Each structure stands twice: as C-alpha cells, then as structure tokens.
C-alpha cells in the first residue's frame, strides 16, 4: 500500500446521535417489524409499505417488473453518469453487463485463490496480534487486502481505498438524510476514484506481462473485441464492485462475532468447527449468528407501477405507483410461518430459511464468494483457545449506527 495519511474509514458520530441511532436500529426497528409481522393486515402509510413476512419479502424481491431498485440516482453521482447494473432493472443492458462480468469474476477463483488468501491473511493477523485483537479491523483488513489484489484496484496515491469505498458506500446505501458534509466528500472522492481506476487501466497494457486479476481479464476481453468491455464499462464495474462489496463484511461479520460471544455454547461449537476445519459447519454458525443481526433491517424498492402485495390474503395491500416498499428481510428470517423456531440458534438450519443475499434479479452478485469467505474471516480467531471478550466496554460491539465500529477480544497466543 502506498504511503497514506491514516484515516478512520468511518465518519465521526456524536455520542447522542450514536445512542439514538443504535436504539433505533438495534431495538425499535426490530420491535416494530415484529409487531407488523404479527398484524392480521398489513397497513400502508401513504406511499410507504413494509413487507415484513417471509412470503411477502420473497414476493417483492422476485417481482422486479413491479418493484424497482432505487439506486440509479446516486450511482450516477458515483459513476459520473455511466450506468452500473446495480441500478438497472431487467433490461438487455442489465443482462449483457452482468453476463460480461461473470466472464471475469469466476466461481472457480473462490477455492483456488480467494479462500487460501482469506485464511492466510487471517492467520497472519491473529498470530501477530499476540492475544488481543479488534475484530472490525481484522475483517476490514482481510477484505480489502484480498479484494484489492483480486480486482487489481490498488490504493490511490496518497489515499486509502478503504476510506474512499466506505464513504461512497455510506452515500449510496446508508445516507437517507442527504447529509451535505457527506455529499461534499463524495463530490471530491468519486471523480478521484474514477480517474484512479482509469489510470490503472491505461498503465496496465504497457506494464509488462499480463496479470491474472479482474482488471487484467477485462483488458484481455477488450483486446479480443468481446462486447461489454469498453473503458466506461470496465471502470464502472470495477468501481461498483469496490464500493458495493468490501465495505460490507466489516459491518456484518463483527456483528456475527458479537452474537456468538453472547452464546457460550454456540461460540464453543463454532470454535470446534473451526479447529476441525469443518468449514460447512463453521458457515452454519456464522450465518445463523448473522440472522440475529443481519447487514440491515430492510432494503428499499420503488413501485414502478400500481401493484399489490399478498393479494388474495387478509394481508393484501395495494401499492400505488411510486410508493417505497421496505423489504424487511431481517424480519422475514424471524417469521415463524416459514422459519422453524426462529428465536432458537440452529447452526444446521436449512439454507432456504436465510435471506442474507436477497432473491431474484438483484440477488447479491457476489453471493458465492460471500458464502465461502465471510465465515473464514473469523476462522483463525475462532481457532484460538480461551477466546473471550476484552475487559470493560472494549469487549462489547460498538456501532456507528449502520456500521460496526469496534469489538475487542482476547485469547491465548499460540
């Protein structure tokens, strides 16, 4: 990494704002969703509708013609007006662009390249920490180190890719109040990141032998005349992956660790799975822990036409065109109608009871990577004996509203 000014990837949040935000996200929203889930009828507040039951969430996610993603406007700011498929509905361009990227982001890379990289870096960090470690930074370092190398997008000269990606992620997915201070940062960062990626693209052909990363594969496709690999398409796709991907594991994986620490029996089970290299069972523990504190309470959709949810049932609700639908996948994973014993921690829970990665057209593009890699980010740590919370407040997960902030643990050094 180039010489940089060390900077916190998360923006500062005042104590009162943090307390109110954490109360809202951690207590009031889950409680409100539980109430909505139990109601015999699903109320509508003007042009706001909440899909809170399992079947309703699946219905909205799987009906892209009626319920559109609302990301295009802010993506245009980030991408400088060039479209990225996250903001598209079911169009030919969406299908072409995603098909192009699947040629260079390959499932075969997971076992051959990404899994060994995650395990190696995780072990180096945990061993080097000598018995005390901060989990959010562990996950952040693993994620960005692995994906910088895989995508071929290095730190910008004198800057920190972790900071830039996290700021742009916050603008795109978290900032519901259009914070002018954040927008000022975005107006500065976004063109700089576009220019940085374009510079990497321009320098690569003259830099010697081909490098087998996503950028190198894109340029090879471009050289061979494959459609979907113009400079604009390559740059925007790489930028979209960097902004939309690496900021998420440091949010949700530490939350899973916090849930395990609250449950000594389950923590011991996860540690046993990690020690036996039973990665499938380890994944069961981590994704079950995530179910109790997922990435977000819901995802938004916008009705592109007049529609309805749960038609033919007592829960039927008309959705006017332009209405915002909050698709509460966190609530759906606690719906006793489709999830067995939802408040029981079950690391062998059937996969269909999870909705961590969505459904349908906009199911997470990196779903296979995330299923394989997220649990492994904790594997080296879970293999340590006497793993426990650090003393005092440091040993409890702190958040800056949507973002995991810090969680310190201690363990016996090997």
Q: What is the CATH number of the domain that holds 119?
A: 1.10.630.10
**Per-residue model confidence (pLDDT) at position 244:** 96
pLDDT in tens, 186-220: 999 999 999 999 999 999 987 777 889 999 999 99
Residue 6 counted as domain residue: no
Residue 163 has pLDDT above 90, yes or no: yes
- In DSSP terms, 410 is beta-bridged to 132, 388
Residue 267 to residue 385: CA distance in whole angstroms: 11
Residue 142 has pLDDT above 60, yes or no: yes
Asked if residue 391 has pLDDT above 80, the reply is yes
Domain that holds residue 277: 15-410
Q: How many Å apart are CA 350 and CA 328, to the nearest integer?
A: 20
Q: For Cα atoms 330, 335, 336, give the angle at the middle one, nearest 5 degrees.
A: 150
Cβ-contact 342, 334 below 8 angstroms = yes
Read off the pLDDT of residues 89-123 as tens digits, 9 standing for 90 and up. 888 999 999 999 999 999 999 999 999 999 999 99
pLDDT of residue 18: 87
How crowded is residue 297: how many other Cβ atoms within 10 Å of its Cβ?
Answer: 20
pLDDT > 70 in the chain, percent: 98
357 pLDDT more than 70: yes
Q: Looking at residues 234-259, what average pLDDT do you find?
A: 97
Sign, CA dihedral 293-283-258-341, equals positive
With 90 as the cut, is the pLDDT of residue 155 above it? yes
Report the C-alpha gap between 53 and 172 in whole angstroms: 26
Q: What is the mean pLDDT of the chain?
A: 95
- Domain assignment present for residue 202? The answer is yes
For residues 198, 201, 207, 211, the Cα torsion angle rounded to the nearest 10 degrees is: 140
User: Binning pLDDT at 50, 70 and 90, where does residue 177 land?
Assistant: confident
Over 90: is that where the pLDDT of 51 sits? yes
How many domains is the chain partitioned into structurally?
1
What per-residue confidence (pLDDT) applies to 2?
Answer: 41
CA dist., res. 194 & res. 210, Å (int): 22
Residue 376 lies in a domain: yes
pLDDT band with cut points at 50, 70 and 90 for residue 3: very low
Domain contains 275: yes
Task: Indicate whether 8 belongs to any domain.
Answer: no
Query: Does residue 10 fall inside a structural domain?
Result: no
Rounded CA-CA distance 406/393 in Å is 10
> Tokens 């207590």 map to which residue?
27
366-375 pLDDT tens trace: 999 999 999 9
Q: Does residue 9 belong to any structural domain of this protein?
A: no
Whether residue 249 is contained in a domain is answered as: yes
* Rounded CA separation 379/304 (Å): 43
Taking alpha carbons only, the member of 326, 170, 190 closest to residue 248 is 170
Alpha helix segments (H runs only) across 24-71 = 29-38, 54-61
């Amino acid at each position: 990494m180039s010489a940089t000014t060390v900077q916190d990837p998360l923006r500062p949040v005042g104590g009162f704002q943090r307390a109110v935000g954490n109360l809202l996200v951690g207590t009031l929203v889950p409680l409100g969703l539980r109430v909505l889930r139990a109601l015999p009828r699903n109320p509508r507040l003007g042009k706001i509708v909440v899909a809170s039951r399992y079947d309703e969430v699946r219905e909205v996610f799987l009906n892209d013609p009626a319920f559109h993603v609302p990301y295009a406007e802010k993506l245009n700011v980030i991408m400088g007006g060039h479209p990225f498929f996250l903001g598209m509905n079911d169009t030919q361009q969406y299908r072409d662009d995603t098909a192009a990227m699947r040629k260079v982001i390959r499932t075969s890379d997971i076992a051959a390249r990404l899994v060994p990289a995650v395990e190696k870096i995780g072990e180096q960090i945990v061993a080097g920490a000598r018995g005390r470690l901060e989990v959010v930074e562990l996950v952040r370092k693993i994620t960005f180190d692995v994906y910088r190398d895989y995508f071929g997008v290095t730190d910008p000269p004198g800057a920190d890719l972790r900071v830039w990606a996290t700021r742009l992620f916050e603008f795109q997915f978290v900032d519901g109040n259009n914070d002018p201070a954040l927008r000022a940062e975005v107006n500065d960062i976004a063109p700089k990141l576009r220019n940085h990626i374009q510079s990497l693209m321009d320098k690569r052909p003259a830099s010697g032998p081909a490098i087998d990363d996503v950028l190198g594969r894109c340029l090879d496709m471009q050289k061979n005349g494959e459609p979907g690999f113009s400079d604009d398409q390559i740059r925007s796709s790489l930028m979209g992956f960097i902004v939309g991907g690496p900021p998420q594991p440091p949010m949700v994986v530490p939350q899973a660790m916090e849930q395990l620490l609250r449950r000594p029996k389950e923590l011991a089970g996860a540690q046993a799975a990690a020690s036996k290299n039973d990665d499938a069972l380890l994944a069961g523990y981590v994704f079950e822990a995530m179910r109790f504190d997922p990435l977000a309470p819901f995802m938004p959709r916008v009705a592109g036409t007049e529609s309805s949810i749960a038609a033919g049932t007592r829960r039927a609700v008309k959705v006017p065109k332009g209405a915002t639908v909050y698709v509460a996948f966190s609530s759906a994973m606690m719906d006793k109608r489709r999830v067995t014993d939802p408040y029981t921690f079950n690391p062998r829970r059937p996969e269909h009871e999870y909705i961590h990665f969505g459904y349908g057209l906009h199911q997470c593009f990196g779903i296979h990577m995330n299923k394989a890699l997220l649990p492994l980010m904790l594997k080296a740590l879970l293999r340590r004996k006497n793993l426990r919370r650090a003393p005092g407040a440091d040993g409890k997960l702190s958040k800056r509203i949507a973002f995991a902030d810090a969680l310190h643990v201690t363990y016996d050094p090997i």
